[in-house]
Structure formats: structure tokens, C-alpha cells
Amino acid sequence: MNRREFLATAAAATGVMVMRPKTAFGYEANSAVRLGLLGCGNRGSSVATSFVHSTTTRVVALGDLFQDRLDRGQARFNALNQSLGQATIDPKQLFKGREAVEALAGSAEVDLLQLSTPPWFHVEHLGVAVASGKHVYVEKPVGIDVAQARQALEIGKKVKTGQSVAVGFQCRNAPGIAAAAEHIRSGSLGKMVSVAAYYNAPASVEVVVPGAGADEHRLRNWLWDRALSGDILVEQNIHIIDLCNWILGSRPIAAMATGGRNALTHVGDCWDNYQVDFEYPGGVHLSFASTQFGNYGFDAGLKFFGATGSATVGYAGPIRIAGPNEWSWQDSLKSSPEAAKFAADGAFQDNLAYADRDKERAVVDAITGSKPVNEIASGVETALSCMLGRMAGYQKRAVTWDELMAHGETYPLGMKMEQFG
């Protein structure tokens, strides 16, 4: 089967549009990927906007549980489309309520479905999107508990030929971090010994809507809620754990952890700090620390220690290798870790300035080219790695990977979604 026959067959089999790129990252006007966004909050809107600026993607449909956020999304993307000389969103492609995912998945106007809902819903929505044959971009984490992780793996087996499913681990695509990863994997540090990592972020800001009931308040402030978010280790800190897994080429086999809720006083049940020791194969340990409270600075990154060298890989500040194989990412030398700023919408600058851009270009290249991607399994592995640390913290003991999987933990939502129409 030649490439043209493959593309035609894939398009017929999946019921989605598989387009031909002119060159790598050089798209013809008629090859635009039509994006439908589910979840018009900060991160969802930021990613969809970046897709538009970074590729020839067009936002053509929106869905959200709440009318006010759908209205804001419509205003934002209509203005964006008009600024680029494109049509505004057809009002028939605006979907409100808990069944918006089915409407987007069933829309003939959508090629790529972006899932940016609270984490508890990721796997449920992923199942609908994959079954539709649409290409999918789903935010991390791929599951907030073991039961959801197992379900996601089953969904991953149902991805169709020619269908791409990407997971939002954009930090892997940051040019400096990707370059450092190649150096580390090539043996520049000698035998790997240990890793130290951290993620210290400010507290999230409460969203208050007059007249909202308790369940709606939970949904609008899902970062505070363990079931909706998975806690800070699974929802936010996951990027650092993912980078460690990716660079080491393995996942942890056990973890010990401490932590708690020692500073936060608002409603919710998420911890505000973790200290986790992850054990990897070969006796390599990752010492990870996290905080999420206050508003007096932000820093996140990793430091790898080998027998002959070390590597510093941060969101801001120099990315470099020390030792006989000394190396640095030149653009990062202009960045100071003390000047790092937290971005609530995930659009970080400094060393991550091009992370979203390059991730989105890779996603569109997978859709328009002949090499589709399916990142569900790797996304699940990272989510489970974080759940391992969370379980060790909650149970205040060492927990192995096998114990985590045998436990099969589940976090029920605890509300009836039918009330939202």
C-alpha cells in the first residue's frame, strides 16, 4: 500500500478527515484542522488559542457545562477568528451541558476534539471522543484513580487506524528540555544515580459565581477537590514526574511519601504539600517535593545526578550539564530561575515558551501526515506513577507499584451530573 492509498483508506475507515501536509510544519490553506474545544476555561482556551497561532488549526465548535463560560469562549474565538480573516463560529456548533461531548463528537464540522474538562471527566470524555473516530487532544492526567487508568488503557486499544490521540505533556516538547533529555540518555552523566525535583506553586484563586450551589462551586473550583482533580500530585506535579519517567525511560516501582494540608484553610480536601521518594529500576531514586499555597514565588524543575556529571533541567534558569561532557542550552542562559512566573492557564514562558507551540505542531503533523500517534498508554503510566506517590502519602507507608494496581483505588464523583442539563 502506498502513502496515498493509506491516507485514503484511513479516512474511509475512521470517518475523519486525514489531510496531506505540504511540508513539515508548512500547511496549505485547505489543510486546516478544524478543532472543537470541550471546556472553555483558562487552560482549554489557552491551548486552543495556541493551536490557532502555531498551526493552521481553526476553532469551529465549543462546548462547556456552563453558559457563562461558553459565552466567553464564543466571544474569545470569534474575535480571534475575525482577526485572522476567518469565519466566526456557527451558533449551531455551540453546545452547553453535560452532553456537549457527544454533540462535539458527532459534529461533521470537527476533525480534532480537544478535551480540557476537570480531570475526573477526562477518561469518560476520552471514551466518547475515541469512539467517534475524531482525532483527540486530551489534557493530563489520563485518569485520577486506578479504575479510571484501567478504563483508559482499554480505550487506547480501540483507537482506529489513522486516528491520533495526544496527551497534554507539552513540557517534553520544550526545545531546551528535549535537547537536555537527548544528552542525558546518550550517557553524558555516566551511570545514573539519583534525581532531585520540585514544583512549588502559588495557591489557586477561588471562582465565585453568585447563586451557585455547592456542586457547581465544586466544579468551578475543581483544583481544590481531590476527586475532581486527583490532588496536586496527580494534577499539577504530574509534568515533573512525566519528565523524569520520559528521560529515564522507565517508571517507578515503589514510593514512600509524607505531606498534608498544613497551610490551606479554604474548603476542599487536596493537600498543599508532598515530599515523595520514588524508587526506579536500578536503584535510582527521585526525591520530589511540592507545595501549593501562598503567593510568593514559583519554581519547578529537576536535577539529574550521574556518576560523572549532573544535569539541571528547569522551567526557568539555565539548562545545562556539568562535568566532563559540559553543555548548555544557550537560550536558557538568559533566563533566571528567580524571575520565573506561574501561569494559571499553563502558558509558561522562559524555558517553556515554545513547549505548547511545538507540541501542537507535532499533533497537527501526526494528523495531517502518515504517522498517527496514540499516547494513551504512556499518559496512563505517568498518571499511575503520581497515584503511587499519592497512595504512599495517604497511607503513610511505602507502597509498591504492584500494591497500587492490586488496590484498585476509586474516587467517586459524589454528585449527580443530571442536574446540569
DSSP secondary structure code for residue 420 in this structure: G
The mean per-residue pLDDT over the stretch 280-308 comes to 96
Q: Report whether 198 contacts 301 (CB < 8 A).
A: yes
Domain's final residue, options 171, 191, 226: 171
Look at residue 22 and tell me whether its pLDDT is greater than 50.
no
Q: What mean pLDDT, rounded, does the chain reach? A: 92
What grid cell was written down for 389?
506517590
Q: How confident is the model at residue 333 (pLDDT cuts 50, 70, 90)?
A: confident
pLDDT reported for residue 10: 36
Structural domains in the chain (count)? 2
Query: Which domain CATH number covers 289?
Result: 3.30.360.10
184 and 127, same domain (yes or no) = no
**Same structural domain for residues 280 and 166?**
no
Same domain flag for 190 and 110: no
Strands (E), 51-191: 58-64, 94-96, 112-115, 135-138, 165-167
Pair 325, 344 in one domain: yes
Domain span at residue 260?
Answer: 174-352+376-407
Name the domain boundary from 171, 201, 217. Answer: 171
3-state per-residue secondary structure call for 314-379: ECCCCCEEECCCCEECHHHHHCCHHHCCCCCCCCCCHHHCCHHHHHHHHHHHHHHCCCCCECHHHH
Would 360 be classed as within a structural domain?
no
Is the domain of 166 the same as that of 47? yes
Residues 185 and 283 placed together within one structural domain of the fold:
yes
Reported in sequence order, the residue ranges of 132-176 that DSSP labels E, i.e. its strands, are 135-138, 165-167
For residue range 98-130, what is the model confidence (pLDDT) as tens digits?
999 999 999 999 999 999 999 999 999 999 999
Proportion of the chain above pLDDT 90, given as a percent: 87
Q: What is the mean pLDDT of residues 386-393?
A: 98
Average pLDDT over residues 280-301: 96
State whether 151 and 240 are in the same domain: no
Instruction: Kindly state whether residues 130 and 74 are assigned to the same domain.
Output: yes
Q: How confident is the model at residue 377 (pLDDT cuts 50, 70, 90)?
A: very high
**Do 239 and 322 share a domain, yes or no?**
yes
Contacts of 83 (CB under 8 A, 6+ apart): none
Whether residue 22 is found in the same domain as residue 154:
yes
Burial class (CB in 10 A: 0-12, 13-18, 19+), 265: exposed
Residue 119 maps to which CATH number?
3.40.50.720
Per-residue confidence at 370, pLDDT binned at 50, 70, 90? confident
The length of the chain in residues reads: 421
The answer to the question of residue 269 being in a domain is: yes
Per-residue pLDDT tens over the stretch 128-178: 999 999 999 999 999 999 999 999 999 999 999 999 999 999 999 999 999
111 φ, ψ (degrees, to nearest 5): -100, -40
pLDDT at 408: 86
Average pLDDT of span 363-388: 97
DSSP 202: P
Q: Can you give the pLDDT at residue 15?
A: 37
pLDDT at 363 over 80: yes
pLDDT score of 16 more than 60: no
Whether residue 112 sits in one domain with residue 25: yes
Domain edge (last residue) among 121, 155, 171 = 171
In a domain, 418, yes or no: no
Tell me, yes or no, whether 412 lies in a domain.
no
- Pair (137, 190) in one structural domain: no
